[in-house]
Each structure stands twice: as C-alpha cells, then as structure tokens.
C-alpha cells in the first residue's frame, strides 16, 4: 500500500491559488447538489483563549474519497519561535477504506480559507470593484490578498487594517515578495496600510 506524503514545501510548489479557487468552488457546488458530505466538527479547548484543536471531516462522493483534518492553535508558540497554527490532513479511499495520503494541514488551510473569501467576493462584490479592505494583518493575510487578486482582476488598491499599525506596515512591505513566491506575478494593485483608521482606533 502506497501512501503519498506532502509537506508544506511540496504544497507551496504545487498549489496555485487559481486552482484552489476552482476546486473549492466545485466542492461548494457538490455540497449544494448533495454530492459532498460534511460531518460535525469536533472542537476542544486545552486552555481557553490559549490553546485549542478542531477536527473537520467530509466525503466527496464523486471522487470516492473521504478524509479528516486536525488543526491546532497554540498561541504561546510565538514565545517558542514556533507557528501558532499547525495540522495534518488524512485522505482515504472510499471504496476500500485504505489511507491514500497525508498532507501538512496549515498551508492548505490558509489557501482554502483565502479561496473561500475570494469566492464570496467574486459573487457578492461589485464586478468592477477597484478597492478592497482587509481587516487583520495576521497569518491569513497573504492568502486573502492572493485570493482577491486572483478572483477580482479589476482591483487597483487593497488597504490593510490592523490595530497594530506597525504590523500592517510590515505586512505591506513583505507582501509583494510573498505573493511572487505564491505565483501571483505582475500584479499592479497597490497594497497600503490603513494608517488613519489604525491611529483613530488607537486613540479611542
């Protein structure tokens, strides 16, 4: 029995946001057509507000696969120089029950969440939208920006707001190189920190 293993480095090389958008949208379609099943999430707080985990699982009937993802968030990991979010995805053959793959869960979760946000914008935003605002400059920021730039080709400016203005400014400086690594090339959309909004919130 052969089990494929994909770590974060392999996922960064193989996953493109345009492909993830298409796949996530297709799975949403399958769910609406009752061709996909999502089982109840299991959640547990090890320390409320500091450490938790959840297990999400589902079944794609047309693909004849099912799987589960365990994701953990340990906020104190920043003090240990470790990522706060990590996880593991296991995929099984729905005709035999045998495992067929294991995948690092953190990066693919970021890509899926970024794609989900972009799909919402694709169908709900003005199709000629020129500006977008993203609130929060944390782990998910690069995925949300990559998703929006892929789904909304008319965007001319994306403003990044975070209560920590320095964090927003740092993110804006680092994003162009990060987006190139993610395969988002030659975009002309301006990325700017929401300085006035952040200053106002700090004063209040």
Average pLDDT, the chain: 93
According to the model, what pLDDT value does residue 187 have?
Answer: 77
CA dist., res. 154 & res. 88, Å (int):
36
Which one, of 41, 38, 106, lies nearest residue 66 by Cα?
38
Percent of the chain predicted with pLDDT > 70: 96
Report pLDDT digits (tens) over 132-171. Answer: 999 999 889 999 999 999 999 999 999 999 999 999 999 9
Number of H helices, E strands in the chain: 6, 10
Going along the chain from its start, the domains and CATH numbers come out as 4-108 (3.30.1780.10), 125-203 (3.40.50.720)
Report the distance separating Cα 196 and Cα 44, nearest Å. 38
Indicate if the pLDDT at residue 203 is higher than 90. no
Question: How confident is the model over 39-58, as pLDDT tens digits?
Answer: 999 999 999 999 999 999 99
Stated pTM of the model: 0.88
Give the end-to-end CA distance of the chain in Å, rounded to a whole number. Answer: 60
């Amino acid at each position: 029995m052969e089990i494929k293993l994909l770590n974060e480095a392999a996922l960064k090389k193989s996953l493109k946001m345009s492909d993830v958008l298409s796949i996530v949208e297709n799975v949403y379609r399958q769910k609406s057509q009752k061709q996909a099943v999502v089982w109840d999430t299991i959640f547990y707080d090890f320390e409320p507000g500091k450490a938790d985990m959840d297990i999400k699982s589902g079944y794609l009937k047309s693909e004849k696969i099912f799987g589960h993802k365990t994701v953990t968030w340990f906020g104190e990991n920043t003090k240990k120089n470790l990522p706060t979010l990590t996880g593991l995805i296991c995929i099984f053959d729905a005709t035999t029950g045998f495992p067929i793959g294991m995948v690092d869960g953190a990066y693919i979760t970021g890509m899926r969440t970024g794609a989900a946000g972009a799909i919402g914008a694709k169908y709900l935003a003005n199709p000629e939208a020129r500006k977008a605002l993203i609130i929060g400059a944390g782990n998910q920021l690069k995925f949300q920006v990559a998703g929006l730039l892929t789904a909304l080709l008319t965007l001319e400016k994306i403003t990044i707001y975070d209560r920590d203005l320095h964090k927003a400014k740092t993110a804006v400086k680092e994003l162009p190189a990060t987006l190139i690594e993610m395969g988002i090339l030659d975009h002309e959309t301006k990325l700017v920190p929401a300085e006035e909004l952040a200053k106002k919130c700090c004063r209040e």
